[in-house]
Amino acid sequence: LCHAELEALARVAERDEGDFTGQPTAPIIVNAQPLEKATASVSLTGLWSDYVNSRVQAGFMRDGGKRQRPVIENLRTFLKHNNASRITKKDLLAWREHLMKSLSAKTVNDIYLSTVRSLFAWAADNDRLPENVADSVKQPKPRKVYGRERGYTDVEAVKVLKASRTYQSKADEFGRVRESDQMANLKRWVPIICAFTGARVSEITQLRKEDIRKTDGHLVARITPDAGTVKSGDYRDVPLHPQIIEQGFAQFVSEADPGPMFHNATAPEKFQRAAVIVSNKLSDWLRESGLRPEGLQPNHAWRHRFKTQCIELGISPRVYDAIQGHAAKSASDGYGDVSLKAKIDAISRLPEYELS
């Protein structure tokens, strides 16, 4: 450094005498590199918004990224900044370890890390970021070991449906009923609808009065993203089993006010969140009532049971997948439509539950 400083002073002296031919010889000056241009700040939330718009334009993310938005907010909160260009692989590894303290490996990898990997891959492909630092950040998932069947057994199913059929809101010590009508209706009707449709619980809790209609003498529920969210992104029509009608569901629908029947949200943009919240409350009620068997996920148990029953009855996989909203298993399944008549025939074959 001293050598470089002396040489710099010598060059200054030469220039003072009008000599501008001198060249530096000190290695620290000769080999000096120009400063790299500072990396431009890239807003993480802005990047996410642009990514979602791109996906929506391409026909994906029909919910506008609502399901994954909390992932980006979680990352931003953890990092304590909103600059995507500052995020490193080390940052994401630390975030992964933080998430693993409260979430399952499957949730961390398949929802949180997957979302960020997709976002950063898009950003790198579109020259918004120099590289995808999330590319190799994954969370290994242990193979899940099941200690029992994943759906309700006959005995468990009947027990839940009996409790649901006779459910009535309880008054507090002052004789006041604090439970909303929507929550009471949810406990009364959602379990049996799930039992005979194999739908996701939140797909039923988001149902609106206008989603129920009669077609050719059959009551049909339309599960649609307009009411909240549908994992596949597409609507589907699901015929309702005669036992649901016999219990008075048609009358319940006719007397209901327009809009959601099982939650009290009024703004469409809040329907999805409200449906999820009441779905979780239904799960809480089942647990508190001793109706949630050990090792069973109540929000998926009806889906597993429905599929098991269809297999036992020899119903076409193409038909019961269409009823449940599962994706086609092969390219050939993409040809032709599963008609409402085919669905009605399948649903009508499901045996009634003995609930008396």
**Identity of the residue numbered 327:** A
Single pTM value for the model? 0.74
| 210: pLDDT strictly greater than 90 | yes
As a whole number of Å, the end-to-end CA separation of the chain is 95
d(CA 270, CA 272): 6
Q: Which two tokens stand for residue 305?
A: 């049971």
Q: How many CB atoms lie within 10 A of CB 84?
A: 25
Which strands sit side by side in the sheet containing 236-239, from one edge to the other? 212-215, 218-223, 236-239
- Percentage of residues of the chain with pLDDT beyond 70: 89
Burial of 62: CB neighbours in 10 Å, binned 0-12, 13-18, 19+: middle
Q: Band of the pLDDT at 172, cuts 50, 70, 90?
A: confident
Q: Band of the pLDDT at 228, cuts 50, 70, 90?
A: confident
| 213: pLDDT strictly greater than 90 | yes
| 34: pLDDT strictly greater than 70 | no
Q: What is the pLDDT of residue 173?
A: 80
Which one is predicted more confidently, 148 or 205?
205
- CA angle at residue 189 from 188 to 193, to 5 degrees? 145
304-324 pLDDT tens trace: 999 999 999 999 999 999 999
| 344: pLDDT strictly greater than 70 | yes
Average pLDDT over residues 75-88: 96
138-169 pLDDT tens trace: 999 888 777 789 999 999 999 999 999 999 99
d(CA 48, CA 69): 8
